[in-house]
Amino acid sequence: MAALIETPLIETRALSRAFVGLKAVDAVDFRLERGEIRAIIGPNGAGKTTLVGLICGRIAPSSGTILFEGRDITRLPAHARVMAGIAYTFQITSIFPKLTVYDNVALPVQRRLLAGGGVGKRALDAGVVEALEKVGLSGRAASPAGDLSYGHQRLLEIAMGLALKPRLLILDEPTQGLSDGEIEGFVALVREIAREATVLLIEHNMQVVMELAGKITVMNAGRILAEGTPDAIRADRAVQDAYLGSGGNG
């Protein structure tokens, strides 16, 4: 009897996006399995951010198909993808600086609870506390978000993503601007997150990529150049020529 092939969490088929004739993503076939920590790397302009923008719905494709758990979401709007279980944190922090840390996280918790049928104060509090505890910001709940250090603002943004209870959490350059100590804490945090959600990250810090990712996708000129384990990618001559040996930082 043939073994059952599990449906991937995310699958793209011949996915393309062109901007004024330039193909930022060019006929990409991509599969992301449940439970992975996957990194996407590549030189500047490789199409990494465009690809994840297509997956989360922030960018519309020129052609191709996107499947989430086998369901065609190619034309599904971004807000509906969030409710379906896809959360995306931006390369630049997208917090509400004048609101407290608590209120920043309460917004996505409220959104999730409303989608489930109703918001109670106890459930709202529990959702906020859980998300803040995961990122280590419980003690800052009453602080204005704009008063946090840059590193803590990035953690707050991750907490806002986690508050949605996503099945897929997409992180775009999450360690950008973080200190070495903060990066160490971030690596531990992603490993903890991966117990409950699939993680897809664009990351320029190769030490973080090699330490975290079970599989790496390398993009160049809008296409997938290579995929494999960290060891396989490190040894791939085409990847070395296009990226690792060129000093590119994605």
pLDDT for res 90: 66
Q: At what angle do helices 121-135 and 150-162 cross, to 10 degrees?
A: 130
pLDDT for res 73: 98
CATH classification at residue 152: 3.40.50.300
**Could you give the number of structural domains in the chain?**
1
Please list the residues that pair with 128 across neighbouring strands: none
pLDDT for res 245: 56
Half-sphere exposure of 193 (CA within 13 A, CB side): 35
pLDDT for res 9: 97
Structural domain boundaries enclosing 41: 36-58+77-244
In a domain? residue 12: no
Q: Give the CA distances from residue 230 to residues 156, 216, 218, in Å, rounded to whole numbers and listed in that order.
A: 29, 6, 11
Tens digit of pLDDT at every position of the chain (250 positions): 455 568 999 999 999 999 987 899 999 999 999 999 999 999 888 999 999 999 999 999 999 999 999 999 999 999 999 999 999 986 556 799 999 999 999 999 998 998 877 778 899 999 999 999 999 999 999 999 999 998 899 899 999 999 999 999 999 988 888 888 889 999 999 999 999 999 999 998 999 999 999 999 999 999 999 999 999 999 998 888 876 654 444 4
What is the model's pTM?
0.89
Cα distance between residue 86 and residue 33, in whole Å: 14
Q: At what angle do helices 150-162 and 180-193 cross, to 10 degrees?
A: 10
In a domain? residue 232: yes
